[in-house]
Amino acid sequence: MSVPPTSTLVRCRGVGKAFAGRSGTVSALAGVDLEVERGEFVSLIGPSGCGKSTLLRIVGGLVPADEGEVLVDGGDPRAARTGKQFGWVPQTPALLPWSTVRRNARLLTKVNRGREAHAVLGEDETVDLLRQVGLGDFLDAYPRELSGGMQQRVALVRAFALGAPILLMDEPFAALDEITRDEMRYLLLRLWEHTGATVLFVTHSLAEAVILSDRVAVMAARPGRIVDVEEVHLPRPRSTDQEDSVEFLHHVHRVRRVLQEGMS
Amino acid sequence: MNSVGARTAARTSAVLRWLAPVVGIAAFLGVWELFVRVFDIPEFELPAPSAILANMRDDPGFYLRNTWVTFREAALGFTVAAVLALVVATVAAASPFLERALEPLVVLFQVTPIIAYAPAIVLWVGTGFRPILIITVIVCFAPFFFNGVTGLLSVDPAALELLRSVDASPREVFWRLRLPNALPYLFAAARIAVGLALVGAVLGEFFALVPSGLGVAIKKAQAFTDTLQLWGSIFSLALLGSVIILLLGVLERNLLRWHASQTLR
């Protein structure tokens, strides 16, 4: 008899991580509890050095936790990584300069081909996705011929083309100007709403966290921990108009207050 | 600037790019010719470029035969050094311990003048083609090794982490990330190694008692004070090196179209 999948896809319990520094051991994370449901969009927000990216790497099986338990779909994160369960979007686009846009978008599907338990996008579907994000005229362009925003769009398509059930995004829009960043948020939402993937999104931007997420996990530093989780009750699909709404501003205000309390 | 203006400017820039080195070389030879004629320098001391070129034109077979021999030696030494250095660089890049163990060894070979241990190599492996190949490989190895290690290691950490996020094996990381990343570094090494390969081949011919090659032609010309053949052989070497560099440039432009170094200046 097969076991029905639980609704919780990512579960962190009492997660701790320390790094050895020149002046002794630095506790990056301590006692982190977090659960992410299937299809949920959860943002991690907090001051620099509070361990947001470390937590993302632990969930992604790239760094082991020193304490506590991390389960991805009921198993070890490293097993999930081996099964290509994560669509990783780094802070910089990390495109291969020698590959064209088309080839870069297919990179993750080509590495360890066949290891994934889910369906990946074929070449035609990936090209369709590239056209959807406005890169139809740049399929055979090299990364150096693209703007920063266009490069980050390729990075998004690359993660979505893998068809992974979990997307891990480490401040993907941090290096972009505010106008492009705003545009990218809604592009991400449009792509995500089609897939129903689960997203864990690291950001420094309060507005970004609120407009994108179902829940915002607010972190504090020294040691890195989650101090509160704000549920965002804005209806989907989200739009720029909602950013002017009272509800949106209330959410931003509450997250800001928790952040300030965490820093004091 | 409109599109016609931009095209004309691009064409002018392309013509100037080809014309500039030709003008430079012609001016150098012109000054040399003038210097020899004005000061009436005897041919056995320093022949005029026109006399050297006339000598080459009169006996092209001699120069072509010897150039071909030297080219073969240099090309084989260059290729063996490139492949061997890349293999060793890959091993060194995979292990900091091996990198630290290998680096001083390569530095020792690089800083010891090849002319000092060339006779030792001939005594060890005998005369003929073998010592020439070994000498050429030794002089070409260091630039390929050092640039290879740097290129293999200086990958974008975010790209490396991205590949790790889908559990890429070290082999996949090598082929998809490290080797392409090292290509511009290896081409930079190749430009240096072309000159070194010719030095190695000519020097090897000086010691290895072989019957032909530009090094042999230079040595014989020196013995008979045949300055026209001496300078004809030097011109042939210069021409050979330039042609190889030119071909390397064509290959580089095709393989590194993606790289910032290929943007037209």
Q: Is residue B176 part of a domain?
A: yes
The nearest CA of chain B is from the CA of A242 a distance in Å of 33
Confidence of residue B4 (pLDDT cuts 50, 70, 90): confident
DSSP-assigned letters across all residues of chain A: -PPPPPSEEEEEEEEEEEEEETTEEEEEEEEEEEEEETT-EEEEE-STTSSHHHHHHHHTTSS--SEEEEEETTB-HHHHHHTT-EEEE-SS----TTS-HHHHHTHHHHTTTT--SS----HHHHHHHHHHTT-GGGTT--GGGS-HHHHHHHHHHHHHHTT-SEEEEESTTTTS-HHHHHHHHHHHHHHHHHHT-EEEEEES-HHHHHHH-SEEEEEETTTBEEEEEEEP---SS--GGGGGSHHHHHHHHHHHHHHHHHH-
Confidence of residue A191 (pLDDT cuts 50, 70, 90): very high
Q: Is residue B25 part of a domain?
A: no
Please count the structural domains in chain B.
1
Q: Is residue B130 part of a domain?
A: yes
- B176·A143 Cβ contact <8 A: no
* pLDDT exceeds 70 at position A64: yes
* pLDDT exceeds 80 at position B196: yes
Q: What is the pLDDT of residues B51-99, one digit of tens each?
A: 999 999 999 999 999 999 999 999 999 999 999 999 999 999 999 999 9
- Quick one: average pLDDT of A145-174? 95
Q: What is the pLDDT of residues A111-131, one digit of tens each?
A: 988 888 888 899 999 999 999
* pLDDT exceeds 90 at position A158: yes
Q: What is the pLDDT of residues B209-256, one digit of tens each?
A: 999 999 999 999 999 999 999 999 999 999 999 999 999 999 999 999
- A111·B156 Cβ contact <8 A: no
* pLDDT exceeds 80 at position B3: no
Domains of chain A: 1-84+169-175+202-264 (3.40.50.300), 86-164 (no CATH)
CA separation for the pair B134, B150 (Å, rounded):
25
Percent of chain A, pLDDT > 90?
Answer: 85
Q: What is the pLDDT of residues B130-161, one digit of tens each?
A: 999 999 999 999 999 999 999 999 999 999 99
| pLDDT score, position A113 | 85
Q: Is residue B190 part of a domain?
A: yes
- Quick one: average pLDDT of B170-176? 96
| pLDDT score, position A5 | 54
Residues of chain B neighbouring A98 (CB-CB closer than 8 A): 180, 183, 258-259
Q: Which chain A residue lies closest to B160 (C-alpha atoms)?
A: A94
Here the CATH number for the domain that contains residue B145 is: 1.10.3720.10
Domain containing B153 equals 67-263
| pLDDT score, position A77 | 97
Q: What is the pLDDT of residues A194-211, one digit of tens each?
A: 898 999 999 999 999 999
Confidence of residue B2 (pLDDT cuts 50, 70, 90): low
Residues of chain A neighbouring B164 (CB-CB closer than 8 A): 62, 81
Q: Which chain B residue lies closest to A146 (C-alpha atoms)?
A: B258
Q: Is residue B17 part of a domain?
A: no
- A82·B167 Cβ contact <8 A: yes
Q: Which chain A residue lies closest to B175 (C-alpha atoms)?
A: A111
Q: Is residue B241 part of a domain?
A: yes
Confidence of residue A22 (pLDDT cuts 50, 70, 90): confident
Interface list for chain B against chain A, based on CB atoms closer than 8 Å: 156, 158-159, 161-169, 172, 176-177, 180, 183, 257-260
| pLDDT score, position A2 | 41
- Quick one: average pLDDT of B190-219? 96
- A111·B158 Cβ contact <8 A: no
pTM of the model: 0.88
The nearest CA of chain B is from the CA of A173 a distance in Å of 14
The answer to whether ipTM exceeds 0.95 is: no
| pLDDT score, position A1 | 38
